[in-house]
Structure 1
Amino acid sequence: MPLRFATYNVHACVGADRACDPARIAAVLAEIDADVVGLQEVSARGDTRGDQFAYLERATGMTAVAGPNIVRPEARFGNVLLTRRPLLDARLVDLSVDPYEPRGAVVADIDADRGRRVRVVVTHLGLRVWERARQHARLGEIIAARGEVPVVILGDFNSWWPDIKVLRHLGPRLAWRKTPASFPAHLPVLALDRIRAVPDTVVGRVRTHGSRLARQASDHLPVVADIMLRRGDAASEEEIAPSSPARARMIRR
């Protein structure tokens, strides 16, 4: 059966009306009805906006893996993986390039269907061409280390001309398909948000979710893809070793 994946830069849940409304983001996620979601720019502060990491896990009923890139006493800010499928393992990878804003990735294995392992990477890359080039190289290393396990990368790549060819250097290991424009949400012209599968198991088109609510909820539109696991694309049931409950709790914190 196909799995639905989505990537969504939620802009700290601040919408076009400048209101911070995590419930609106949760409603957009309900419209999409994805099995696995990668979120970027999720915030947790000690003010009335509260902890968006925890709120979105509760509101969606999905398992969350928090990957904050910025951690301060007064706030956390970064990526989140949400999954309806069982979480097997997860780790955080540092993609920071000094002296710029900290960047990172959530790398998690999920049980896609009766013992079929899939690795999911959720990330948000930097604003500068050479910064992204180093981050692309690190993503290439993660892909190369996958063995026989398929990988799906969900993220805000921040990639547009002139460095689109730099993104292509990931080559045949990372499926290259036409990605729809997702930014800005009210009139998308830039394809910043991308979904890539290794091997190329994407079926149907990669598309934006452009509902009226989605155009109001954030400055990015979600990007959605349905991915079919073919025979031999995933690790066998015998290879799966679920992480301990203690490990899952540590990651969610």
Structure 2
Amino acid sequence: MVARLDRVRYAQANRSETGPGQVRIVSYNIRKAVGLDWRRDPERIVAVLAEIDADVILLQEADKRVRRREGVLPRDILCGEMGYALAEVAIRPHSHGWHGNVILVRQSFPIAETRRIDLPSAEPRGAVSATLADPRIEVIGVHLGLNAAMRRRQLAVLQAYLAQADHPVVIGGDFNEWRRGSDHVENLGTVIEPGPSFHSRVPVAHLDRFILSGALRHEGSFVHRSDLAARASDHLPVVIDVAPEKPE
């Protein structure tokens, strides 16, 4: 326990800072906390998240896919020492999220609403949403399918969902889209590709992305690279800083 907390505190002490009024969001496919060494090491994932110190965390593959579908991360550390609140989107008592999609929000950003968004899928995939009370920004975490035709159907559902939103929305996640500049993705809004995030050993593919919809400013984005992140999962985390547009 002491070693785990020391790693988290060291990482937080060396984090980069966001500017005033910004919200930092990270999206990270954690592969059920199984690293490139094939060890399940939840503490290593926690330490990577502490390095980033985001306000909102969007995780994919954070629940196991069999039996009780239990979450793989130490909730006591995330919601205790690290000060996050878990968006309540799970339908199973031992899960952290829904179809492995999890949202954590810094406790200083109260959550006004959470929901699950049904996506067509032949796999256990879907989208989860949390709307912050102030600033009023909705964040949606997604993990889209491997099949291109199914992804197009999923993106069409998300496009229809965004069309009825009366507030800014950020979608982040693993889009499983190897081709850049896809019309189906760009139809959702402003596409932000921080950089290649897969495979973490030699990143070449921009699978992890963000979509901005509504009155939001893109203040900056990057792929988080560190010694820990290079081993913790087969994806690297992607990070974006956004801020609500100021009324003219």
Q: Closer, same or farther in 2 for the Cα pair 1:19/1:164, shift >3 Å?
A: same
Instruction: For 1:196-215, list aligned pairs within 5 A.
Output: 196-199=211-214, 201-215=216-230
Q: Which residue of 1 aligns with 2:18?
A: none
Shift of 1:52: 2.3
User: 2:201 & 2:49 partners in 1: Cα distance?
Assistant: 18
Bigger strand fraction: 1
Counterpart amino acid of residue 209 in structure 2: R
Q: Closer, same or farther in 2 for the Cα pair 1:217/1:137, shift >3 Å?
A: same
User: 2:152 & 2:70 partners in 1: Cα distance?
Assistant: 34
Q: Closer, same or farther in 2 for the Cα pair 1:72/1:126, shift >3 Å?
A: farther
After superposition, give the CA deviation of every residue in 1:201-225 in whole Å (9 maximum; x if it has no partner). 3434321001111111111000001
Percent identity at matched positions?
Answer: 38
Q: Closer, same or farther in 2 for the Cα pair 1:87/1:178, shift >3 Å?
A: closer
* Gap regions ≥5 residues in structure 2: 1-20
Q: Which residue of 2 aligns with 1:153?
A: 171
RMSD (Å), alpha carbons: 2.9
Q: Which residue of 1 aligns with 2:238?
A: 223
Counterpart amino acid of residue 79 in structure 1: N
Shift of 1:168: 2.1
* Gap regions ≥5 residues in structure 1: 234-253
Shift of 1:10: 0.4
Q: Which residue of 1 aligns with 2:116?
A: 92
Tell me, yes or no, if structure 1 residue 63 matches structure 2 residue 85.
Answer: yes
Q: TM-score, normalised by structure 1?
A: 0.78
Shift of 1:32: 0.3
State the secondary structure of the residue aligned to 2:49: helix
Q: Closer, same or farther in 2 for the Cα pair 1:186/1:200, shift >3 Å?
A: farther
Q: Which residue of 2 aligns with 1:180?
A: 195
User: 2:42 & 2:183 partners in 1: Cα distance?
Assistant: 35
- Count of aligned residue pairs for this structure pair: 222
Q: Closer, same or farther in 2 for the Cα pair 1:31/1:130, shift >3 Å?
A: same
Query: Aligned to 2:129, which of 79, 91, 107?
Result: 107
Shift of 1:195: 1.5
Q: TM-score, normalised by structure 2?
A: 0.80
Counterpart amino acid of residue 87 in structure 1: I
